Amino acid sequence: MSQEFRLKDIGLIKRNKKISFKFNGKKYQGYEGDTLASALLANGVHLVGRSFKYHRPRGFFGAGADEPYAVVQLYRDGETEPNIKATEQELFEGLEAKSVNCWPSVNFDIGAINNILKIFLPAGFYYKTFMWPKSFWYKVYEPFIRKAAGLGVASTKHDKERYEHKYEYCDLLIAGSGPSGLSSAYAAAKNGAKVILAEDKSRFGGSLLTSDVNIGNQSGKNWAEKIIAELKDMPNVIVKNRSQIFGYYDHNMLVMSEKISDHLPKTKKYHPNKKLWYIRAKEVLISSGSIERPIVFGNNDTPGVMLSSAAKEYMKVYGVLVGKKPLVFTNNDSGYETAIEFKKNGIDPIVLDSRENPASEIVDEAKNLGLNIKFSYVVVAAKGYKKVKSADIALISKDKKKLGKIENINCDCICVSGFWTPTIHLASQSGNKTKFDDNIDAFIPGKSKQNETTLGAANGVFSLKETLKTSFEAGNNLSKKITNIENKVSIPNIVEKKYSKHDKFWCVPLPKGKNYKRFLDFQNDVSVSDIELALREGYRSIEHVKRYTTLGMATDQGKTSNLNGLQLVSDIENKVVPSVGHTTFRPPYTPISIGAIVGREIGKHSKPTRKSPMHSWHEKNNAIFVDAGVWLRPRYYKKGDENLFEASKREAKNVRTNVGVCDVTTLGKIDIKGPDAAEFLNRVYTNAWLKLPVGKARYGVMLREDGIVMDDGTTTRISENHYHMTTTTAQAANVLSHLEYYLQLVWPELNVNVVSTTEQWAGAAIAGPNSRNLLKKLFPNNDVSNENLPFMGFMEGDLFGVKTRIFRISFSGELAYELNVESDYGKFMWEKIVELGEEFKIQPYGTEALSTLRIEMGHVAGSELDGRTIPYDNALEGLVSKKKDFIGKRSLQRLAFVAKDRQRIVGVVPIDKKTNIPEGSHLVKDAKASLPNKKLGHISASCWSVEYDNPFSLAILKDGKNMIGEKLFVMSPLKNKIIPVEIVSSHYVDPKGERVRS
Amino acid sequence: MLYIKCPHCGMRSQNEFSYGGDASVKRPELNKEISDQEWDNFVYNRKSLRGKHWELWQHLSGCRQWIKVQRDTATHEIFNTLKAEEEIN
Ligand SMILES: [Zn+2]
């Protein structure tokens, strides 16, 4: 199909580069430099989608980020992305896009029945209509709404694109490269400031690309090109196009999304799709310009009705006519620029101006060009369903309340200009309390909150001369304060037209007997009657009206609808707009890909992966790994086609009968040194530490100040003023911070230093009845006898030349040792253990067997120390000193903590000795009791006891102390299980602890 | 994201720090007899102030020092930062 709406010689597109693309399955052609919108318009395609609620036909309304209609589903390089604005998407070879919100097709959309049934979908329809009857919700309403709603489909595939984050610091960050942004950037750059200039479109220059002005004896566009070229050459300036500053956060932190690959058929190798910039700026200049406002009239959502500035941009930037019989409907001078541009391209527009007889330079120019202008005329309603075919127009009275006789005129598009709304989003996000400016009927920034300055049209200044003057000054003044350099540039000569006053008019009244929908919010289908209804129903606060009607809550964030909505509310309420107030602007200014926000922190990149020095050995020996915090730990070592259950049982059994070795490198290790170290430990742990001799280890429990157990572990006195503390893998970082808190803030008088040594030591636990025999082989030069190295003893050993710390501690309940060597010797140590352990039938064991061994013994771990239990609950009250004070001691007197029937750890065995008990299940007295069935406790950890060959669990049970021997039920609604169980002691194996001392 | 002046390291972004609560809370001395009310005030009871507030932060991914920061809880403006041993005045 030929591009029959493409103009011959005008525009900034590359005519020598043809591009083919597909829309809704049909093939079209455009040029490099087109957007999807401009290329479709060049081909005469105006129907792009259906509206959200009524499924009314939707065309193009704008030419950029403010577009409320033309949201499409994009297909690129085998992927699909929803919520893409056709007005922002640059054309590339092979682009494919589809309409959203329509089924089965954009031309015949079954959801349009909503349009006929719209009586059922008034304001607040979510809250009213679908409430009743309840049974209809799942079967009728929800599927219907799900089918009908939404702005496209998110891909369910893994996103293969790469997104990057970047942190940057600068003196001046400038948002927008229009006349204001260019001037301030140039002035600041000349003063040597570090400048970042961001432009959300692909082309720099903003309004200079489409306005008819002259700067320094050249066209505005040429001046912009010259400035940009100079800025790009300066080493202290970063100039970025396709980069949207979408959020202004605390302490002058702004976030910018740079589209790096969206305009290409596929992302280049090693390139990201988007880059998110976190920019900390000393000063922020907001030169984000303004957005044209629509005028509200009947059926103003018909395809072919669009902003007059957009129509002009399509002509001047893309060389595209949005229609061949245009009607320009304006309340100010801007509409004339569009009308004149039509005329220059050989098209005769009709201009309707709501003003009576405005005197201005541009109106005179239009008259001289012979344009057909009707003053005091308005569009009453657009006619045509899928495209504007004609317009009902009428004279309007001076007070704008009465309409004259309705006339119908032919047209194929209606270009609307209701004056300009400054883009104040970033200033508002910064915390600036914006103020209403009566001269322009819009909000402008008030007093700066952070270091932000708003300039040009964004600040309500529409004169180019004024904009350039203030922007050069601001750029110069702000930068010289930072750099102490001033290289003042002179402000160029400016030629622009003078503008006359706009008409304070924004909504055409309904003619008698007509009930046209007049839309305020085009994306969410909010009409004048919806706002009126909300007010009739008693909503007053603009924040409430917004949520009730959904005005301004669509993905365009009401860029074209907010002010007209406010005007309507203030008119009905007989208030002025400032006293109605406006809703809060929140980031992001435009929708941002979730992928860009997440960046590289996905999958294995979401956190660091720590591997022990023995990792490669585990890999070679068929270890199946499990995430333990940031560590990878062997869960079990697979032999043949064993599963987890079989392998862990074999490994645990071997520890109980022979000897096993387990990688315990991941345990947190903290080195504690200083003359007051013993006193410090005495305050941190619940038990006594002052008399621990050198060469001895002790098990300790530490509490939070609220009496809850924080962590447990053994600490060893290496020498007089030197201790080695171990923590659980999960709490290692928290415990270190905890210790630092008390040393730095609470007891700074204690002379103690702490440092993490977790990664400095490789650790291996050797456990089982044969472990001492193995130890003797490993340390032939040391006396490791029970007498010389008793339970809880410590010594340094010589592992074939490698200095080793030997701790006689046990987590498994067996005779056991833990060996620590410097990390680099970890693999040497491990291989020696395995080699010399062969004669004792050594086998490595993973975390699953480790759990089994500790559960059987009733040793508590993370699943019991879950941030809800006190020492008593874990049967650790014997470790709580009565004599000395320690962190959290005073809390243990709380009534709930000393209650007679306080929860306590118990063992749980299924009566049938067969059924596995799911962790997290509840314990109840009566399995058949009516709901809610009173919960007596929960299963904290489960295993298969290798000692007794039946399932065994630990539980935290109310009044656990007096429950031994009771028969209860374990209930797991999740697993649909009810299991009769008997409560036993938590020390299921070796309750007297004889093995560890053997 | 806040921009916090660590008295040891200089201006750093918030993601290097972790929050530590009200800096004006003093831990009761060890071995001192105190009422339930006093203990509860130390462990639990905090004012949720709007406005200037002295609070603790730890420069976790930096020098690991605990510092005192005076911040406006509504606007996030930071007025002052002190080292752990410096008294709030
Ligand atoms: Zn620091």
* Per-residue model confidence as pLDDT tens digits over A226-244: 999 999 999 999 999 999 9
- Residues A157-205: pLDDT tens digits? 888 899 999 999 999 999 999 999 999 999 999 999 999 999 999 999 9
Asked if the structure places residue B32 within a domain, the reply is no
Residue A879 in tokens: 């470790």
Note whether A1-158 and A898-997 share their fold: no
Contact flag B66-A748 (C-beta cutoff 8 Å): no
Q: List the single residue in B28, B60, B75 with the smallest CB-CB distance to A431.
A: B75
Contact flag B60-A737 (C-beta cutoff 8 Å): yes
- Residues A916-960: pLDDT tens digits? 999 999 999 999 999 889 999 999 999 999 999 999 999 999 999
Q: What's the CA-to-centroid distance between A668 and ligand 1, angstroms?
A: 23
Range in A511-525, A618-632, B39-53 the model is least confident about: A511-525
Distance in angstroms (rounded) separating the CA atoms of residues A222 and A514: 50
| Smallest CA–CA distance from A450 into chain B, residue | B77
| Smallest CA–CA distance from A882 into chain B, residue | B31
Q: List the single residue in B3, B27, B60 with the smallest CB-CB distance to A746.
A: B27
Q: What's the CA-to-centroid distance between A193 and ligand 1, angstroms?
A: 28
| Confidence check: pLDDT of A114 > 80 | no
Per-residue pLDDT, A581: 73
CA-nearest of B64, B69, B65 to B52 is: B69
Per-residue pLDDT, A145: 58
A455, A286 contact by CB (below 8 A): yes
- Residues A2-56: pLDDT tens digits? 899 999 989 999 999 999 999 999 999 999 999 999 999 999 999 998 877 777 8
Q: Min CA distance, B81 vs chain A (Å)?
A: 15
A122, A533 contact by CB (below 8 A): yes
Contact flag A250-B76 (C-beta cutoff 8 Å): yes
| Confidence check: pLDDT of A693 > 70 | yes
Q: What is the CATH number of the domain that holds B68?
A: 3.30.2270.10
The CATH fold assigned to A668-757 is Alpha-Beta Plaits (3.30.70)
A162, A266 contact by CB (below 8 A): no
Q: Name the percent of chain A lying above pLDDT 90.
A: 81
Q: Residue A786 — φ and ψ, nearest 5°?
A: -60, -30
CA-nearest of A434, A429, A110, A441 to A292 is: A441
Contact flag A740-B66 (C-beta cutoff 8 Å): yes
Range in A80-89, A226-235, A692-701 the model is least confident about: A80-89
Per-residue pLDDT, A134: 59
CA-nearest of A265, A243, A203 to A13 is: A203
Residues 6+ apart with CB under 8 A from B50: B73, B74
| Smallest CA–CA distance from B23 into chain A, residue | A745
Distance in angstroms (rounded) separating the CA atoms of residues A67 and A558: 10
| Smallest CA–CA distance from B82 into chain A, residue | A745
| Confidence check: pLDDT of B25 > 70 | yes
A382, A300 contact by CB (below 8 A): yes
Asked if the structure places residue B21 within a domain, the reply is yes
Q: List the single residue in A253, A744, A890 with the smallest CB-CB distance to B1.
A: A253
| Confidence check: pLDDT of A119 > 70 | no
Q: List the single residue in B2, B34, B58 with the smallest CB-CB distance to A250.
A: B2
Q: What's the CA-to-centroid distance between B8 and ligand 1, angstroms?
A: 5
User: With bands split at pLDDT 50, 70 and 90, how would you rate the model's confidence at A703?
Assistant: very high
Per-residue pLDDT, A131: 52
Q: List the single residue in A251, A741, A745 with the smallest CB-CB distance to B3.
A: A251
Q: Domain A519-583, what architecture?
A: Orthogonal Bundle (1.10)
Chain B residues in contact with chain A using a Cβ-Cβ cutoff of 8 Å = 1-3, 13, 18, 20, 27-28, 30-31, 34, 36, 39, 42-44, 56, 58, 60, 64-66, 75-76, 78, 84-85
Per-residue pLDDT, A129: 53
A850, A691 contact by CB (below 8 A): no
Contact flag B1-A891 (C-beta cutoff 8 Å): no
Q: Left if phi > 0, otherwise alpha if psi is -120 to 50, otherwise beta: which for A609?
A: beta
Per-residue pLDDT, A549: 86
Per-residue pLDDT, A107: 66
Per-residue pLDDT, A572: 83
- Residues A956-990: pLDDT tens digits? 999 999 999 999 999 998 899 999 999 999 999 99
One CATH from 3.40.50.740, 3.30.70.141, 3.50.50.60, 1.20.140.10 for A294-418+498-517: 3.50.50.60
Q: List the single residue in B1, B20, B66 with the smallest CB-CB distance to A250.
A: B1
Largest CA distance in chain B: 43
Q: List the single residue in A167, A280, A744 with the smallest CB-CB distance to B66.
A: A744
User: How many domains is chain B partitioned into structurally?
Assistant: 1
A694, A719 contact by CB (below 8 A): yes
| Confidence check: pLDDT of B51 > 90 | yes
| Smallest CA–CA distance from A754 into chain B, residue | B64
Residue A878 in tokens: 């014997």
| Smallest CA–CA distance from B17 into chain A, residue | A737
Q: Min CA distance, A625 vs chain B (Å)?
A: 28
Mean pLDDT of A788-806: 98
- Residues A842-871: pLDDT tens digits? 999 999 999 999 999 999 999 999 999 999
Chain A residues in contact with chain B using a Cβ-Cβ cutoff of 8 Å = 167, 249-253, 278, 280, 431, 449, 683, 705-706, 737, 740-741, 744-746, 748, 884-885, 890-891, 893
> What ipTM does this complex have?
0.98
Distance in angstroms (rounded) separating the CA atoms of residues A203 and A963: 77
Asked if the structure places residue B33 within a domain, the reply is no
Per-residue pLDDT, A896: 95
A236, A189 contact by CB (below 8 A): yes
Per-residue pLDDT, A483: 98
| Smallest CA–CA distance from A430 into chain B, residue | B75
The CATH fold assigned to A898-997 is Elongation Factor Tu (Ef-tu); domain 3 (2.40.30)
| Confidence check: pLDDT of A59 > 70 | yes
Chain A residue numbers with beta carbons less than 8 Å from the beta carbon of B18 are 737
Residues 6+ apart with CB under 8 A from A763: A663, A664, A665, A667, A818, A819, A820
**DSSP designation for A679:** H
Range in A132-136, A289-293, A743-747 the model is least confident about: A132-136
Q: Min CA distance, A432 vs chain B (Å)?
A: 11
b (16+ CB within 10 A) / e for A600-618: eeeeeeeeeebbbbbbebb
Contact flag B76-A737 (C-beta cutoff 8 Å): no
Q: Min CA distance, B62 vs chain A (Å)?
A: 13
Q: Of A502 and A550, which is predicted with more confidence?
A: A502
* Domain span holding position B54: 3-25+41-83
Asked if the structure places residue B35 within a domain, the reply is no
Q: Where are the beta strands (DSSP E) in A194-268?
A: 195-198, 214-215, 218-219, 237-240, 243-249, 253-259
Chain A residue numbers with beta carbons less than 8 Å from the beta carbon of B36 are 893
Per-residue pLDDT, A153: 82
Q: List the single residue in B3, B31, B85 with the smallest CB-CB distance to A885.
A: B31
| Smallest CA–CA distance from A432 into chain B, residue | B75
Contact flag B75-A278 (C-beta cutoff 8 Å): no
Q: What's the CA-to-centroid distance between A498 and ligand 1, angstroms?
A: 57
Asked if the structure places residue B49 within a domain, the reply is yes
Distance in angstroms (rounded) separating the CA atoms of residues A874 and A896: 15
Q: Domain A1-158, what architecture?
A: Roll (3.10)
Range in A65-79, A481-495, A781-795 the model is least confident about: A65-79
Q: What's the CA-to-centroid distance between B67 and ligand 1, angstroms?
A: 8
| Confidence check: pLDDT of A110 > 70 | no
Residue A717 in tokens: 């006195």
Contact flag B43-A891 (C-beta cutoff 8 Å): yes
Per-residue pLDDT, A626: 96
Single pTM value for the model: 0.89
Would you kindly state where each structural domain of chain A is located, as residue ranges?
A: 1-158, 163-290+422-483, 294-418+498-517, 519-583, 668-757, 898-997
For helices A528-536 and A562-572, angle between their N-to-C axes, nearest 10 degrees = 40
Contact flag B3-A278 (C-beta cutoff 8 Å): no
Q: What's the CA-to-centroid distance between A253 and ligand 1, angstroms?
A: 20
| Confidence check: pLDDT of A130 > 60 | no
Q: How far apart are the first and last CA of chain B?
A: 27
Residues 6+ apart with CB under 8 A from A356: A375, A376, A398
Q: Domain A163-290+422-483, what architecture?
A: 3-Layer(bba) Sandwich (3.50)
Return the HEC string of B8-64: CCEEEEHHHCEEEEECCCCCCCCCCCCCHHHHHHHHCCCCCCCCEEEEEEECCCCCC
Average per-residue pLDDT in chain A? Answer: 93
